[in-house]
Amino acid sequence: MLEIRPADLSGDAAYKLLCGVVVPRPIAWVSTRSASGVSNLAPFSCFTFVSHRPPMLGVSIGRRPNGLKDTARNIHETQEFVVHIGDETLLDPLHRSGAEFPPEISEADLLGLELVPSKLVAPLRVAKAPIAMECRLHKVVDFGSNQFFAGEIQLFHIREGLAVDNKIDTGRLRPIARLGGPNYATLGEIIGMTPQAEQSSPQKSAVSWG
Ligand SMILES: Cc1cc2nc3c(=O)[nH]c(=O)nc-3n(C[C@H](O)[C@H](O)[C@H](O)COP(=O)(O)O)c2cc1C
């Protein structure tokens, strides 16, 4: 086995290594609004949910040599953001929205993406995204090079036909994931398993694992 000590890695090398190790990563496509009203849209794959009651999402944002990324600065200033889940049809604009644009540029306008008003927060949402979650900032925590933004979901927007009884049909969602390098993945085979509760129940011990 190759042994690598973090102390021997530059920041860039550690970033590269982690991006290849933690895969596949879901992508938060985050819309924010600056204090002066400019819309901003950027993808972040250091992303997960951090609580289900109340529902909270977390995104880890790195710094630029000259200061904060627009998304981080906007969240600090306005406390609000919208997290979208992109599908395969949105891969190209999602990827391109990750380029470094000046703060006065709206990535969505530049990429020809329609934005529509959110209900409970000021940042607009991407009309074509199958899922959008309106969030209010809960807490920001510093972790080394990054700042972790946890937001509480105020409202879920789920495209008609995607959810039955609060269960998302992943096959229909067709989400995209981030891998190391500028690489992405689509959904592979979905493997259904027996719920653990049924495996451990004595009445249902005769589970076939085929
Ligand atoms: C798919 C994808 C995932 C990304 N994930 C992150 C991330 O988790 N954290 C981060 O700081 N930057 C991430 N980036 C880079 C940011 O999107 C990039 O720095 C962007 O310019 C930030 O935009 P902003 O200044 O408008 O906020 C990612 C880029 C792409 C394309």
- In tens, the pLDDT along 5-32 reads 999 999 999 999 999 999 999 999 999 9
User: Mind listing the pLDDT tens digit for each residue in 151-171?
Assistant: 999 999 999 999 999 999 999
Question: What range defines the domain where residue 124 resides?
Answer: 6-204
Is 209 among the domain residues?
Answer: no
Decide if 15 is inside a domain.
yes
CA 85 – ligand 1 centroid, Å: 14
Percent of the chain at pLDDT exceeding 90: 92
Residue 85 lies in a domain: yes
CB 69 within 8 A of CB 60: no
CB atoms within 10 A of CB 140: 15
Residue with tokens 């689509």: 186
Identity of the amino acid at 111: L
- DSSP labels, 177-205: EE-STT-EEE---------HHHHH-GGG-
Q: Are 140 and 61 in contact (CB under 8 A)?
A: no
pLDDT at 29: 98
Band (210; pLDDT cuts 50, 70, 90): very low
The whole-model pTM stands at: 0.94
Testing ligand 1's pocket by substitution, the residue of 22, 29, 39, 45 carrying the most ligand atoms inside 8 A of its CB is 45
Q: Establish if 46 belongs to a structural domain.
A: yes
In-domain check, residue 1: no
Helix (H/G/I), strand (E/B), else coil: 75: helix
Average pLDDT over residues 80-91: 98
Residue 70 Cα to chain centre, angstroms: 16
Query: Closest by alpha carbon to 54, among 123, 126, 156, 200?
Result: 156
Ligand 1 centroid–CA 111 distance in Å is: 16
What residue owns the CA closest to ligand 1's atom 17? Answer: 98
- CATH of residue 155's domain is 2.30.110.10
Which residues form ligand 1's pocket by a CB distance below 6 Å? Answer: 27, 40, 42-46, 60-62, 69-71, 95, 98, 100, 178
Number of independent structural domains in the chain: 1
